[in-house]
Amino acid sequence: MAGIYIHVPFCKKKCNYCDFYSVGEAKMDNHFTDFVLKELNLRNPLIADRIVKTIYFGGGTPSLLPVGNIKRIISGLGDFFVVDPNAEITIEVNPDDVTLELAEQYHAIGINRVSIGVQSFNNNELVFLGRRHDASKAVEAIRIFRAAGIANISIDLIYGLPNSTLKSWEHSLNVAFGLDIQHLSCYHLTYEEGTPLTRRVAKGAVMPLDEEMSKAQFDLLRELSHANDFVHYEISNLAKPGYTSKHNSGYWLGEEYLGLGPSAHSFNRSMRWWNPSSITGWGNEVDSGNFLKNTEAIDEAIQFNELLITRLRTMWGVNLNEVANGFSIEIYNHLRKKIIPFTKSGKIIMENNILKILPNHYFVSDSIVAELLIV
């Protein structure tokens, strides 16, 4: 089954830590939706799997896109693919945009999952991040979606914020777990090139949190999520049983996906391609016909590295039988040799021939995975 991602690149206000491609909402008009549908028409043959299991509106701020346009895109997908009647249809929303009317409209057009960009339940941290909502608005947004009948609610939180403490992080987590949410994505703050926040760090005006406190916050996340019956199924993602994100799991499990909109990425097992990070550049590319500027063929080494990068940080792990059957003997032997120090130290375990990094080592998983890759 395939996944469809639609990148809606409009934001009312740029958050000062964010490097996702987005422009002001003044640039949004019906042409955007027309171009998404045009791109769908053009690119859908690149995806072999014709059954759509997940649709994900990400951004940017998709909750700025009028509901009628979202509906047009969902029905347009049905012109080219078979949309599974139980498809997971997610939209990312900014708490500030949420009204009961909007939530009911989403429910009516088939959206059955929302991902709310909460980031923190501490108002001082929301101001620091440049968010346009406060904590009470985020709590209200969750209640509104529940009242509108959307039963699968995910929220995003950020940890590792400068000046944050175990207490401030515990507050955000306790508020989150006290609400009726099914899924939680927790990301460590990153300092991306070119953002206002990174410039402030370079000037010495902001001091990043030390690693020890970041690790303590990660450990607290694990402890509280366990106490609240959430499964830590991927380094940054936790869910109540039965509520893992089907869309994101598709990325980690190597399923095909088609990305529509500026900066969106796509994958069809033999090739990866990505759209220009500019509305004009993307529009020109779509207008020019089938021309794809940014592509990468997936050779065996890339496929192997991607398998490790995506899968080892999930509860599913890497099945050695899959490596033995799907790759050359050299690659299989490379992996068997490279994992020895990690299985000895307990950082990687092997259960029924499946390699896994246990969640208590997820925090250092980047350095573990880096040692296993083919370079």
CA angle at 180 for the pair 176 and 181, rounded to the nearest 5°: 65
Mapped onto helix, strand or coil, the DSSP state of residue 58 is: strand
Q: How many CA atoms lie within 13 A of 283 on its CB side?
A: 9
Q: Should residue 2 be labelled a site residue for ligand SF4 when binding is judged by CB under 6 A? A: no
Q: Should residue 117 be labelled a site residue for ligand SF4 when binding is judged by CB under 6 A? A: yes
Q: Which of residues 218-277 bind ligand SF4 (CB under 6 A)?
A: none
Contact of 221 with 227, CB cutoff 8 Å: no
Total binding residues toward ligand SF4, as defined by CB under 6 A: 11
Contact residue for ligand SF4 among 4, 15, 47, 83 (CB under 6 A): 15
Options 53-61, 65-73, 137-145, 287-295: segment touching ligand SF4 (CB under 6 A): 53-61
Q: What is the dihedral of CA 172, 175, 176, 179, to 10 degrees?
A: -170
Which of 75, 190 has the CB closer to ligand SF4? Answer: 190
Mapped onto helix, strand or coil, the DSSP state of residue 196 is: helix
Q: Should residue 59 be labelled a site residue for ligand SF4 when binding is judged by CB under 6 A? A: yes
Give helix 211-227 / helix 166-178 axis angle, nearest 10°: 30
Contact residue for ligand SF4 among 3, 6, 22, 128 (CB under 6 A): 22
Q: How far is the CB of 373 from ligand SF4 (least distance, A)?
A: 30
Options 17-25, 142-150, 188-196, 291-299: segment touching ligand SF4 (CB under 6 A): 17-25
Q: Should residue 91 be labelled a site residue for ligand SF4 when binding is judged by CB under 6 A? A: no
Nearest by Cα to 10 from 48, 66, 73: 66
Q: How far is the CB of 204 from ligand SF4 (least distance, A)?
A: 24
Q: Should residue 279 be labelled a site residue for ligand SF4 when binding is judged by CB under 6 A? A: no
Q: Should residue 14 be labelled a site residue for ligand SF4 when binding is judged by CB under 6 A? A: yes
Q: How far is the CB of 105 from ligand SF4 (least distance, A)?
A: 20
Q: How many CB atoms lie within 10 A of CB 316?
A: 17
Contact of 214 with 160, CB cutoff 8 Å: yes
Q: Should residue 60 be labelled a site residue for ligand SF4 when binding is judged by CB under 6 A? A: yes
Task: Write out the H or E segment, with its range, that includes residue 126.
Answer: helix 123-129
Options 16-24, 67-75, 180-188, 320-328: segment touching ligand SF4 (CB under 6 A): 16-24
